[in-house]
Amino acid sequence: MSEQQTFFSNLKCRECGRLYPKEAIHICEFDFGPLEAAYDYDLIAKHINRDVIASRPQTMWRYRELLPIDGAPTVGAQVGFTPLVRADRLAKHLGVDELYIKNDTVNYPTLSFKDRVVSVALSRACELGFKIVACASTGNLANSVAANAAAAGLTSYVLIPANLEKSKIVGSLVYGTQVIAIEGAYDQVNRLCSEIAGKYGWGFVNVNLRPYYAEGSKSMGFEIAEQLGWKLPRHTVIPMASGSLLTKIHKAYKEFIKVGILEEQPFSVHGTQASGCSPISEAKKKNSDIVKPVSKPDTIVKSLAIGTPADGYYAIRSMNETGGSAEDCTDEEVIKGIRELAEYAGIFAETAGGVTVACARKLIESGKIPRNESIVLCITGHGLKTQEAIHGHCGEPRIINPSLREFEALIANDAAVLQAQN
C-alpha cells in the first residue's frame, strides 16, 4: 500500500449529495445537511482483502483505506483492535446462546471508543495544519482529545458541562489541556462550540472536523466483523447519544460488503438510551423519524445525555433499514446492568455500558432479539470513569483486625465459600 495514495475523494452532503473539498467544514451551505467522507470504493476493493488486512498491525489503522485521511496516521497509531470477548456466563444469565462483548473499556490510550474518532480527527487536523484542537464533550471525548493532543504536541481546549463526573474532569486536566467547564447542559456546550469553532480557526474535532471524526467509529464495526471470523453478528446493540456510533457501525458493515470483504448477510443494529434522555428511542418506538429534543436531560448516564441528537434521524433510518429496534432503561436498571456485566463477564463498564446491557435484556425478553441468534454488545467506556454512579450500590468491604480468629469467625458459613463448594 502506498502511504500517500488517497482513497477518499471529497466531502459529500448526506442530504443533497453536493460535493465539497476535503477541508475543515462540516455542513452543507445549502441545506445544513451533515457532510460525510466520500470514498472511491472500486479503488479500495482493488487494494484490500482479508489477507492484506490480517497481515497488518492489530490497530484500527489496519482498515486505513476506509478512513478519511490522506497520508499515514500521525496521531493515535496504536488505537483500537480491542478484544471481542465471548461472554458465555452472561449469555446464560440473559438466556441467550451466543453473546459477545466488544470491549472498548480497554481502548488505548483513554479507555473509551472515543480514542478511535480522535485518532482520525487529530491525524486529519495535522494534515490540515491546525496547531490548536478542541472539542465539546460529555467527558470521554475530552479525555481522548487531551491525551492524544498531548502525545502529538498539539495545544488543546476541551469544553465540558461543569457537572461532569470528577474522574472525567481529572482525566482531562492531567494531560495539561485547557479545560473550560460551562454552567449548562451538554447541548449548551455544543451550541457554544458551534458558535466559536469558526471564529478562532481551531480544529474542533466534533464541529468543523466532524466528517473525519465521525468516520473513526466505523473501525469498531470493522473489528467486530473481522474478530467474529469475517462475518457479521446477527444483532449489534449500540448505545446512542447523538446516534453517530450506531450509524457508523451500520456503515462499516455495509462498506465491508461493498468492497467484497464480506458477503451479503442479514444483520440488525439496535440502539439504546437512558430513559432520562431518550429522544431517539422515543421517536423510534413511536415509529416516527421526528426526534423531539429533550430540554433537560435527567439521568446518571451523562455520556449519553444529549437532548438534541444530531444524528438521531439517521440512527432511526439505520435501525429501520436493518430491522433493528430501540430501547431505553431507568437509572436503576443502568446500575443493575453495570453489575451484571462485571459479575458475569468480568468487565467494568461506565454508565453507557449499563444502558446497553439493560436494554439488551429488554430486547431479548420482548423477542426483538431471538435467543438463538448471535449478539454483540458494544461497551464503549471504562467504569473507573463514572465510579460515582455505582458508589454504594455494590456493597462495602468487611473490615476486621489482622487476627486469624476474626477471619475465621467471618468466614464460617460465609455465603461465597458455600457457593464455591457447591
Partner 1 sequence: MPIQVRIPAPLRKLTNEQELVPATGANIGEVLTNLNTAYPGLFERICDESGNVRRFVNIFVNDEDIRFLEEKATPLKEGDEISIVPAIAGG
Q: Candidates 1-9, 170-178, 239-247, 320-328 — which segment interacts with partner 1 by CB under 8 A?
A: 239-247
Phi and psi angles of residue 368, each rounded to the nearest 5 degrees, phi first:
-70, -30
Q: Which is nearer to partner 1, 90 or 291 (CB)?
A: 291
Q: How far is the CB of 274 from partner 1 (least distance, A)?
A: 14
The one among 66, 274, 306, 341 contacting partner 1 by CB under 8 A: 306
Q: How far is the CB of 333 from partner 1 (least distance, A)?
A: 22
Q: Candidates 1-9, 303-311, 327-335, 359-367 — which segment interacts with partner 1 by CB under 8 A?
A: 303-311
Is residue 112 at the binding interface for partner 1, with CB under 8 A as the rule?
no
Site for partner 1 in 121-150 (CB under 8 A): 135-138, 140-142
Is residue 61 at the binding interface for partner 1, with CB under 8 A as the rule?
no
The one among 221, 309, 337, 383 contacting partner 1 by CB under 8 A: 309
Site for partner 1 in 13-42 (CB under 8 A): 15, 25-34
Q: Which is nearer to partner 1, 197 or 225 (CB)?
A: 197
Q: Candidates 4-12, 259-267, 310-318, 331-339 — which segment interacts with partner 1 by CB under 8 A?
A: 310-318
Could you tell me which of 315, 307, 146 has the C-alpha nearest to residue 214?
Answer: 315
Q: How far is CA 308 from CA 175, 290, 295, 326, 374, in A?
A: 30, 11, 8, 17, 32
Site for partner 1 in 258-297 (CB under 8 A): 292-293, 295
Q: Which is nearer to partner 1, 17 or 198 (CB)?
A: 198
Is residue 220 at the binding interface for partner 1, with CB under 8 A as the rule?
no
Could you tell me which of 250, 212, 258, 246 has the C-alpha nearest to residue 11?
Answer: 212
Site for partner 1 in 311-350 (CB under 8 A): 311, 313
Amino acid residing at 419:
Q
**Cα 79 to Cα 348: distance, rounded to the nearest angstrom:** 20
Q: Which is nearer to partner 1, 34 or 171 (CB)?
A: 34
Q: Which is nearer to partner 1, 233 or 309 (CB)?
A: 309
Q: Which is nearer to partner 1, 310 or 389 (CB)?
A: 310
Q: Which is nearer to partner 1, 73 or 309 (CB)?
A: 309
Q: How far is the CB of 197 from partner 1 (least distance, A)?
A: 8
Q: Which residue has the cell 467474529?
A: 228
Q: How far is the CB of 249 from partner 1 (least distance, A)?
A: 14
Q: Which is nearer to partner 1, 173 or 196 (CB)?
A: 196
Q: Candidates 256-264, 304-312, 324-332, 353-361 — which segment interacts with partner 1 by CB under 8 A?
A: 304-312
Site for partner 1 in 182-211 (CB under 8 A): 186, 188, 190-191, 193-195, 197-198, 206-207, 210
Name the grid cell of 248.
457508523
Residues binding partner 1 (CB under 8 A): 15, 25-34, 114, 135-138, 140-142, 186, 188, 190-191, 193-195, 197-198, 206-207, 210, 213-214, 241-245, 292-293, 295, 306, 308-311, 313
